[in-house]
């Protein structure tokens, strides 16, 4: 079956390119999409013979699509560094470590097996810039739907060896490995890319690793590789308790998000886990800048201020956060989806660096992870509640009016702060949904305000959405 080689505009999202294989991204349009990405790179370099680092994840569509992407780059005159199979954070490291100016990974993050896509980056002075809607993706979209032809001579494909060893070496050089004790850790890799860097990392450490679903399988036979969905954490939570582990870890499909589980089998909110890392980093880097996304900030902000750091609130989204990190020279950033960003890794997420920091903290302080989280906790958070609606703007305007006595922020939807509690409501970038988060200094206060806001939003016509 021959499909239209011109891709639909719907695959170009806010942060990346993503679509269903083979309906939206397939063997017939991968060439054109890739040549359009290359044209954007060539525009940036003002040169056709650019170096481009590329890799892919373990999805079943990758062997069918990746050769076409490589050929498109070669035909367009690029010098292609082919890293083959990598997690997304390892791909970021490969681009930065080799000082490559451009790159992309063929991946669909945590989405179900039928999806594929591209995450695209540029690299300036070892600062990774993620290409999103407002930083080049609209240009790539324009080239793609116009049927661009991008032919130049001089293209070549260079096969590169695995860079996992270098990535782990780099992460371990930045912590005191002698402090890491033989603690027991359960990891559910969801048959996805995080298993690669987990295997390499723990082969160097004295920890006891209990592995779950480590065989790469793009059909995801155990469960979808999205650790934000509670049902996908059931098995790892049970296993942590069953084997008496000190910690559980659940990376997402491409390994750039990580959810942690405490020794009691309870999920650790990312804002609290991030606060542990913030406290550790600010002990060493006095007065540094820390960032966290607008949806959940009370505990990270409190810890940052207590430690003498500077705190900046960001919009949600990895492209926004990485770019803002470079602008503010921030040391660390996080968001509630389990993305943790480090200055030391070019402003990108690093599963390896996140894990080694947590292991060093857990080993050095010699307390259960649940106690360490309790010690940094300064607030109680609802987690994210989603509502289906086509009236997002109307609902947010009404909430702005009803809560006008609070301090309003509009960097991403609306966020309203009061002395003892706050909430944020933002629209999804991909679905007709709005997302609600509520925080308060007390658990009872959070529950009261959460119920209040749920009732208000439902009264305005939105329906609670089942994720």
Pairing of strands 184-188, 247-251: parallel
Give the largest CA-CA distance in the chain.
66
The neighbour count for residue 22, using CB atoms within 10 Å, is 17
Cα(89)–Cα(273) distance, integer angstroms? 19
- 10 given a catalytic annotation: no
For residue 198, CA distances in Å to 113, 214, 280, 335 come to 22, 9, 22, 22
Joined together, the tokens standing for residue 246 give 């000190």
* DSSP β-bridge partners for residue 422: 417, 439
Cα(260)–Cα(377) distance, integer angstroms? 15
Chain centroid, CA 279 distance in Å? 21
Joined together, the tokens standing for residue 109 give 């993050």
Helix (H, G, I), strand (E, B) or coil at 423: strand
Cα(387)–Cα(452) distance, integer angstroms? 15
Do residues 79 and 52 lie in contact, with contact meaning Cβ atoms separated by under 8 Å?
Answer: yes
Cα(394)–Cα(292) distance, integer angstroms? 27
CA proximity to 429, closest of 392, 462, 467: 392
Helix (H, G, I), strand (E, B) or coil at 6: coil
Joined together, the tokens standing for residue 249 give 């870890």
- Residues counted in the chain: 467
Q: Which of 109, 363, 379, 424 is catalytic?
A: 109
Please give the DSSP secondary-structure letter assigned to residue 12.
B
What kind and span of H or E run contains 298?
Answer: helix 298-306
What is the arrangement of strands in the sheet containing 258-261, beginning at the earlier edge strand? 208-212, 184-188, 247-251, 258-261, 267-268
Joined together, the tokens standing for residue 83 give 């890293």
For residue 20, CA distances in Å to 3, 25, 108 come to 14, 6, 9
**Cα angle 307, 313, 316; round to 5:** 130
**Cα angle 20, 79, 61; round to 5:** 20
**Cα angle 21, 25, 28; round to 5:** 115
Please give the DSSP secondary-structure letter assigned to residue 9.
G
Do residues 239 and 210 lie in contact, with contact meaning Cβ atoms separated by under 8 Å?
Answer: yes
Q: Which positions are annotated as active-site residues?
A: 109
């Amino acid at each position: 079956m021959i499909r239209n080689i011109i891709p639909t505009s719907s695959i170009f999202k806010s942060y990346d390119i993503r679509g269903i294989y083979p309906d939206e991204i397939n063997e017939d349009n991968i060439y054109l999409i890739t040549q359009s990405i290359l044209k954007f790179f060539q525009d940036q370099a003002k040169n056709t013979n650019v170096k481009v680092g590329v890799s892919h994840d373990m999805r079943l569509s990758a062997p069918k699509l990746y050769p076409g992407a490589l050929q498109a780059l070669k035909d367009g005159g690029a010098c292609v560094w082919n890293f083959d199979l990598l997690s997304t954070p390892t791909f970021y490291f490969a681009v930065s470590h080799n000082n490559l100016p451009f790159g992309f990974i063929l991946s669909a993050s945590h989405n179900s097996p039928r999806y594929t896509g591209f995450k695209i980056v540029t690299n300036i002075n070892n600062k990774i810039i993620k290409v999103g809607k407002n930083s080049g993706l609209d240009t790539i979209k324009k080239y793609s739907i116009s049927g661009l032809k991008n032919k130049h001579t001089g293209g070549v494909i260079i096969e590169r060896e695995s860079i996992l060893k270098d990535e782990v070496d780099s992460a371990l050089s930045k912590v005191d490995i002698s402090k890491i004790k033989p603690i027991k850790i359960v990891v559910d890799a969801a048959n996805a890319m995080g298993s690669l860097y987990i295997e390499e990392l723990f082969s160097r450490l004295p920890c006891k690793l209990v592995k779950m679903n480590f065989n790469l399988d793009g059909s995801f036979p155990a469960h979808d590789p999205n650790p934000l969905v509670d049902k996908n954490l059931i098995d790892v939570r049970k296993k942590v308790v069953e084997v008496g582990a000190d910690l559980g870890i659940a990376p997402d499909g491409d390994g750039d998000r990580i959810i942690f589980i405490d020794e009691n089998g309870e999920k650790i909110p990312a804002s609290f886990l991030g606060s542990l890392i913030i406290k550790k980093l600010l002990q060493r880097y006095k007065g540094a800048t820390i960032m966290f996304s607008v949806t959940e900030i009370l505990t990270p902000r409190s810890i940052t201020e207590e430690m003498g750091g500077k705190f900046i609130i960001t919009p949600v989204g990895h492209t926004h956060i990485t770019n803002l990190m470079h602008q503010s020279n921030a040391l660390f950033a996080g968001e509630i989806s389990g993305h943790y960003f480090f200055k030391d890794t070019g402003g990108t997420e690093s599963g390896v660096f996140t894990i080694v920091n947590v292991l060093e903290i857990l080993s050095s302080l010699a307390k259960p992870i649940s106690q360490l989280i309790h010690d940094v906790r300064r607030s109680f958070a609802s987690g994210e509640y989603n509502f289906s609606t086509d009236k997002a703007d109307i609902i947010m305007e009404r909430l702005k009016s009803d809560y006008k006595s609070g301090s309003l922020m509009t960097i991403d939807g609306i966020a309203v702060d009061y002395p003892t509690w706050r909430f944020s409501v933002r629209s999804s970038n991909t679905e007709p949904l709005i997302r609600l988060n509520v925080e308060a200094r007390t658990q009872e206060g959070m529950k009261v305000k959460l119920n209040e806001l749920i009732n208000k939003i439902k009264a305005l016509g939105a329906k609670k959405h089942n994720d």
